[in-house]
């Protein structure tokens, strides 16, 4: 049952939820993790998370809002000729707004508003604009506002360390969705951002040192990228902005440019509470709802909470920051905002109420304003002012009560019923003539309104990308989780999650081996010195064309088995170029940018000698792309205009003349050797794939589920593409008479697309799966096969084939994949795959690698299970006899694995002394004891070590485990702490212990040194991301103290161990559910039965 809130007398709120019990959820988290701090923010039992099941009227409303808001990002007057959305209809482009635009384009494709190729072209153009301009980046970070063509700084804009990562977050969505070339462009853009440049120096106070500055400003407008200075203010308080910044900084794939994951957890987490909703992390003063969504529309914090309950700043040494489920934290803020609008709004603020709430940044009658509401502060015992919590707190800032429409709309991810009610209220508001007050059918909601100030209603009719964007993406996540799912597909998002020690429910996917049993010949086409290459088309002679990319640049290539990869010449302006199609004569069609000031590309054809023989675009257009060239030299393509990039029109080009296809704005996607042309059109009935004959006469539109897209056609008129419903896209083929033929997807695929077809009707494309894109081949006789399964053992060890783009009659396939390079990195590479006899899908249960699924694999599995007991990892430091049983060679009366604490009261203990009932294992255990002023100050002294010099790897989580007990010693220090610390050491170059390279920080075992009846287990997992990169050994220190370094109290402990799993060892957990159990065997046998 969803939650609702009700205003009660006295301005209090009650949650109306069936058997929701936050205390039960919190206690379960504490039991499962051993966390004992005062506050935990976790989702109560019974609270739903997205996707939500909206009823038909509500879903229809959300579809209307989604479609209209998408149009704002796609083709409204706010969209410039270069494709960027700007704000208020004027020239400035918000860098952050483009981040939301990337997400809008992805959902536009999935909901059938545009074709996949239209979306991919727009994204490529936006990324190209960012990467190809040398006037808008400082150390990889972008100016907040940019304008013009070529792009440049707008006005006195700063280089923004929050608007840039917001754009990066959206770019990850696009890269995760489109893959291939788009994925590489995003990766290179993010990797080139030097986060260290933007951090505060050591001269700052210790609570600000190393944090990211708000911005950088040049000293001179004439030299915007010259000398300048960082803002002295830092990102140090909790909101979606800080979560975004430090996620991106940790996720940077270039280790020289990344920041420590520690900073993500170092951000202060002051707390507040209101209306019985429970504690919530708050800012010292600011409280607009945008602070709860800027990270959450991209990062699936609900999925993270489902997997791990809450994050763990204490594992990074920050004991006064509450473990937080950020989805639940935002839900509480949303309910608080609505509750305060109902019961605490200032007198006369009649605009606000149960269906008008969510104060946030927007334009008001007096201009731009940033109101906000906050919960009253909650003290955190022991927290240090400035380092842990702010020095003071502000209160609510209602300003004039203007309502930002997106304020409640974007909270739909957390409060679906309440947000839909608000959106419906806004949609139904009318003016004096009965016309919608804050809505227009073309591009949806306006920005804000106020009904109680100045007599006539105030309506700000502008639209801002950073307001419309989070609402649009939040609605999509509430309906489908589409934005979250594609964000988390990108390798950089996965890297950020790993480095921050975060996991997301469902991300692992089923364990699958594959490849190595085929006989296909794979040709690596190289990259021509660039960082990546992508094969896009192949002719009947086996020649391939495509594009090579490096940061901010691209070149067209042609590859043949005789000449290898050759870069095709640029136009005079030396702008980027792409080869898209190749005919049997070797002519290459594509596009190129003529100059840095050009609005868009122009269509280009290179002849068989590499000379440019066509460089043109239709009259009145702002650019064009050639997507195909037939054997008669006729081109198919599309032009932009006459209204800039906002409209595309398919064309055919022959003998110097352009001709259009009909009147519908659309695109041509390919041309067969005989001139049959594939195209897509936007019709009143939705998207429809269409085939045109030589004379441009149109056949009947190709049928689809709700719509269809066509991407290639052969000389018989057989076409391939996609048949789709909203959020369900499947590869399809249409015979020459228009009869549809379904192409089955690969197992576990979430969607698929067909991109190429030969004269025999063999089809290639790729599927999206939880593990990423996988290329397929479909034939009438063999069905759909994974091209990775056609690789031999050597190629399968190096390659993952992600996209198959084209196929010729010899079953030679052009495409791209990810190749492992000798230096340990990976790169996209174009390939030609010569397929021989097809093999069936490789068996995921082929554990012994003999390309057969049989009883031998069951035997191999149990061999691995037996080995697993000895493969806990190189850091398994469980002592030879459990506990401290082995005598110390230098002093047989002392345990081997413990030395006396470096304080006067430290002592060695044996069984049944000082009130301890018994040893946990064997007959010996050890005590930690101290007294105030005892002088226990050293972390580096060898006598403090409980388990020492364990070899570790940095790729796996590290587990600390021990048993402890508290004696009846007097005095009892009920406020004392019993804690552990793991120290890390480098290799000295010869396999020995080297320099200290870091520590885990204090790991609180218990904050209460009152006596315990028996031994208690303590277990703590240190994420691999928190282990220093150069660590090779670890040791454990244990101590009791009073919170300020003074030793107090006494504790016993036994069976201390640190261990970790071998990072390359996962076969026993066959089904990848995180547990080695009988279900692994059941799933293994089930797979074997399928494999035969």
Q: How many CA atoms lie within 13 A of 629 on its CB side?
A: 29
At residue 1044, the pLDDT reads 52
Closest CA to 905 of 1013, 1041, 1054, 1037: 1041
Reported in sequence order, the residue ranges of 260-346 that DSSP labels E, i.e. its strands, are 271-272, 280-281
At residue 549, the pLDDT reads 95
* pLDDT tens sequence across 204-231: 787 888 999 999 999 999 999 999 999 9
The helix (run of H) or strand (run of E) holding residue 482 is helix 482-487
Residue 780 CB neighbours (<10 A): 11
* pLDDT tens sequence across 490-499: 999 999 998 9
Q: How many CA atoms lie within 13 A of 626 on its CB side?
A: 37
Q: 763 burial class (0-12, 13-18, 19+ CB within 10 angstroms)?
A: buried
Check whether 511 has a pLDDT greater than 90. no
Task: Please tell me what DSSP assigns to residue 634.
Answer: -
* pLDDT tens sequence across 419-432: 999 999 999 999 98
Residue 813 CB neighbours (<10 A): 29
Q: In Å, what is the CA distance from 875 to each residue of 637, 871, 1017, 1033, 1038?
A: 59, 10, 19, 8, 18
22 contacts 276 by C-beta, under 8 angstroms: no
Q: Residue 11: pLDDT band by 50, 70, 90 thresholds?
A: very low
The helix (run of H) or strand (run of E) holding residue 854 is none
238 contacts 271 by C-beta, under 8 angstroms: no
Judged by average pLDDT, the poorest of 541-545, 799-803, 848-852 is 848-852
Distance CA 895, CA 926 (A): 9
At residue 948, the pLDDT reads 54
* pLDDT tens sequence across 1022-1077: 887 788 888 888 877 766 655 555 555 556 666 666 766 544 444 566 766 656 67
At residue 1047, the pLDDT reads 52
At residue 129, the pLDDT reads 92
Check whether 621 has a pLDDT greater than 70. yes
Distance CA 391, CA 385 (A): 6
Residue 216 three-state SS: strand
Distance CA 429, CA 665 (A): 34
Check whether 954 has a pLDDT greater than 50. yes
Max mean pLDDT among 398-412, 897-911, 977-991, 1074-1088 falls in 398-412
pTM: 0.83
* pLDDT tens sequence across 865-891: 665 543 333 333 333 323 333 444 444
995: CB partners within 8 A, 6+ apart: 985, 986, 988
Residue 10 CB neighbours (<10 A): 6
Strands laid side by side in the 403-404 sheet: 403-404, 448-450, 458-460
At residue 512, the pLDDT reads 45
* pLDDT tens sequence across 258-307: 998 889 999 999 999 999 999 999 999 889 999 999 999 999 999 999 98
At residue 12, the pLDDT reads 31
For every residue of 365-416, DSSP letters joined together read: TTEEE--B--PPEE--TTPPBTTTB-S-----B-TT-PEEHHHHHGGGGT-H
Distance CA 356, CA 457 (A): 14
135 contacts 151 by C-beta, under 8 angstroms: yes
Q: Residue 977: pLDDT band by 50, 70, 90 thresholds?
A: low
Any idea which residue has 């197992």 for tokens?
A: 747
Check whether 818 has a pLDDT greater than 90. yes
At residue 1075, the pLDDT reads 62
Mean pLDDT across the chain: 83
Q: 595 burial class (0-12, 13-18, 19+ CB within 10 angstroms)?
A: exposed
* pLDDT tens sequence across 54-65: 999 999 999 999
* pLDDT tens sequence across 895-937: 333 322 222 233 333 333 333 333 334 433 444 443 322 222 2
* pLDDT tens sequence across 41-94: 999 999 999 999 999 999 999 999 999 999 999 988 888 878 899 887 667 899
Mean pLDDT for the stretch of residues 633-651: 79
At residue 643, the pLDDT reads 55
Backbone angles phi, psi at 887, to 5 degrees: -70, 150
At residue 856, the pLDDT reads 85
Check whether 813 has a pLDDT greater than 80. yes
Between residues 1089 and 459, which one has the greater pLDDT? 459
Q: Which two tokens stand for residue 822?
A: 């000798």
**What are the structural domains of the chain?**
53-214+230-499 (1.50.10.140), 521-834 (2.120.10.30), 855-870+1068-1091 (no CATH), 887-1059 (2.60.120)
Q: In Å, what is the CA distance from 770 to each residue of 504, 605, 791?
A: 12, 38, 21
């Amino acid at each position: 049952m969803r939650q609702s809130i009700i205003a009660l007398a006295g301005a209090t709120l009650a949650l109306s939820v069936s058997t929701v019990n936050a205390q039960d959820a919190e206690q379960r988290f504490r039991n499962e993790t051993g966390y004992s701090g005062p506050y935990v923010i976790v989702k109560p039992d019974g609270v739903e998370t997205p996707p939500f099941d909206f009823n038909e009227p509500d879903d229809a409303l959300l579809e209307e809002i989604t479609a209209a808001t998408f149009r704002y990002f796609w083709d409204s007057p706010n969209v410039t000729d270069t494709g960027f959305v700007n704000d208020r209809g004027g020239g400035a482009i918000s860098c952050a707004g483009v981040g939301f635009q990337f997400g809008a384009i992805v959902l536009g494709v999935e909901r059938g508003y545009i074709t996949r190729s239209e979306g991919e072209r727009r994204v490529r153009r936006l990324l190209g604009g960012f990467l190809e301009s040398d006037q808008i980046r400082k150390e990889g970070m972008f100016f907040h506002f940019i304008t013009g063509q070529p792009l440049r700084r707008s006005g006195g804009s700063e280089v923004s360390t929050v608007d840039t990562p917001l754009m990066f977050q959206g770019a990850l969505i696009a890269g995760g969705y489109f893959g291939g070339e788009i994925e590489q462009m995003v990766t290179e853009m993010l990797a080139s951002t030097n986060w260290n440049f933007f951090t505060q120096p050591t001269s700052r106070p210790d609570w600000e040192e190393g944090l990211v500055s708000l911005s950088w400003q040049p000293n001179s407008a004439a030299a915007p990228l010259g000398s300048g200075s960082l803002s002295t203010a830092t990102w140090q308080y909790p909101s979606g902005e800080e979560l975004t910044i430090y996620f991106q900084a940790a996720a940077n794939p270039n280790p020289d440019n990344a920041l420590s994951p520690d900073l993500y957890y170092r951000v202060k987490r002051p707390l507040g509470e209101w209306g019985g909703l429970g504690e919530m992390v708050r800012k010292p003063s600011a409280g607009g709802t945008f602070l709860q969504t800027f990270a959450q529309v991209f990062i699936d914090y609900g999925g993270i909470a489902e997997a791990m309950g809450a994050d763990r700043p204490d594992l990074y040494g920050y004991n006064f920051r509450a473990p937080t489920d950020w989805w639940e934290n935002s839900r509480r803020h949303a309910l608080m905002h609505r509750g305060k609008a109902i019961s605490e709004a200032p007198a006369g603020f009649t605009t606000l109420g149960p269906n008008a709430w969510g104060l946030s940044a927007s334009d008001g009658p007096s201009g731009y304003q940033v109101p906000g509401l906050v919960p009253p502060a909650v003290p955190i015992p022991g927290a240090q002012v400035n380092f842990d919590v702010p020095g003071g707190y502000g209160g609510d800032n209602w300003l004039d009560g203007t309502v930002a429409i997106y304020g409640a709309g974007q909270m739909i991810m957390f409060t679906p019923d309440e947000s839909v009610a608000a959106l419906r209220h806004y949609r139904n508001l009318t003016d004096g003539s009965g016309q919608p007050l804050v809505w227009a059918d073309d591009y949806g909601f306006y920005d804000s309104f106020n009904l109680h100030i100045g007599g006539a209603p105030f309506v700000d009719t502008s639209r801002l990308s950073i307001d419309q964007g989070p609402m649009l993406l939040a609605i999509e996540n509430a309906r489908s989780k589409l934005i979250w799912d594609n964000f988390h597909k990108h390798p950089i998002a996965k890297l950020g999650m790993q480095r921050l020690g975060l996991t997301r429910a469902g991300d692992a996917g089923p364990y699958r081996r594959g490849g190595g049993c085929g006989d296909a010949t794979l040709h690596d086409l190289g990259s021509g010195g660039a960082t990546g290459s992508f094969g896009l088309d192949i002719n009947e002679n086996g020649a391939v064309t495509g594009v090579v990319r490096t940061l901010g640049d691209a070149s067209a290539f042609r590859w043949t088995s005789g000449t290898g990869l050759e870069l095709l010449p640029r136009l005079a302006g030396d702008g980027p170029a792409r080869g898209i199609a190749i005919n049997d004569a070797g002519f290459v069609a594509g596009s190129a940018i003529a100059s840095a000031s050009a609005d868009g590309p122009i269509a280009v054809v290179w002849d068989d000698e590499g000379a440019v023989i066509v460089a043109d675009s239709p009259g009145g257009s702002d650019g064009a792309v050639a997507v195909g060239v037939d054997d008669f030299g006729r081109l198919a393509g599309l032009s932009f205009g006459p209204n800039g990039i906002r409209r595309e029109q398919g064309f055919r080009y022959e003998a110097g003349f352009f001709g259009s296809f009909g009147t519908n704005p659309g695109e041509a996607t390919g041309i067969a050797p005989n001139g049959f042309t594939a195209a897509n059109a936007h019709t009143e009935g939705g998207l429809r794939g269409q085939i045109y004959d030589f004379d441009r006469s149109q056949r009947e539109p190709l049928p689809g589920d709700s719509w269809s897209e066509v991407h290639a056609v052969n000389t018989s008129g057989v076409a391939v593409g996609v048949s789709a419903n909203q959020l369900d896209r499947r590869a399809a083929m249409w015979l020459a008479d228009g009869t549809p033929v379904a192409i089955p997807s690969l197992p576990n695929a979430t969607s698929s697309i067909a991109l190429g077809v030969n004269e025999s009707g063999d089809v290639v494309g790729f599927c999206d799966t939880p593990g990423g894109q996988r290329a397929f081949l479909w034939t009438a006789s063999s069905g759909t096969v994974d091209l990775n399964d056609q690789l031999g053992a050597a190629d399968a060890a190096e390659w993952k084939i992600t996209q198959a783009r084209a196929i010729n009659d010899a079953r030679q396939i052009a495409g791209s994949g990810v190749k492992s390079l000798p230096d340990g990195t990976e790169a996209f590479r174009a390939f030609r795959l010569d397929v021989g006899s097809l093999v069936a899908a490789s068996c995921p249960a082929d554990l012994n690698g003999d390309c057969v699924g049989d009883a031998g694999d069951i035997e191999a599995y149990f061999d691995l299970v037996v080995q697993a007991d000895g493969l806990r990892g190189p850091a398994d430091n469980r002592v030879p006899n459990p506990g401290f049983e082995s005598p110390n060679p230098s002093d047989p009366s002392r345990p081997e694995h413990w030395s006396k604490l470096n304080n006067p009261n430290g002592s060695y203990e044996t069984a049944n002394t000082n009130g301890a009932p018994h040893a946990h294992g064997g007959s010996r255990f050890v005590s930690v004891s101290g007294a105030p002023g005892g002088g226990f100050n050293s972390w580096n002294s060898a006598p403090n070590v409980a388990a020492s010099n364990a070899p570790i790897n940095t790729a796996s989580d590290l587990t600390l485990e021990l048993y402890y007990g508290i004696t009846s010693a007097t005095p009892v220090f009920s406020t004392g702490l019993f804690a552990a610390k793991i120290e890390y050491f480098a290799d000295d170059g010869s396999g020995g212990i080297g320099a200290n390279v870091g520590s885990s920080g204090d790991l609180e075992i218990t904050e209460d040194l009152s006596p315990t009846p028996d031994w208690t287990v303590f277990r703590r997992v240190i994420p691999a991301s928190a282990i220093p990169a150069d660590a090779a050994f670890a040791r454990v220190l244990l101590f009791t103290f009073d919170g300020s370094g003074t030793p107090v109290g006494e504790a016993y402990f036994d069976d201390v161990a640190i261990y970790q799993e071998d990072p390359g060892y996962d076969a026993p957990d066959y089904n990848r559910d995180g547990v080695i159990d009988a279900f692994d065997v059941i799933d293994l046998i089930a797979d074997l039965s399928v494999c035969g």
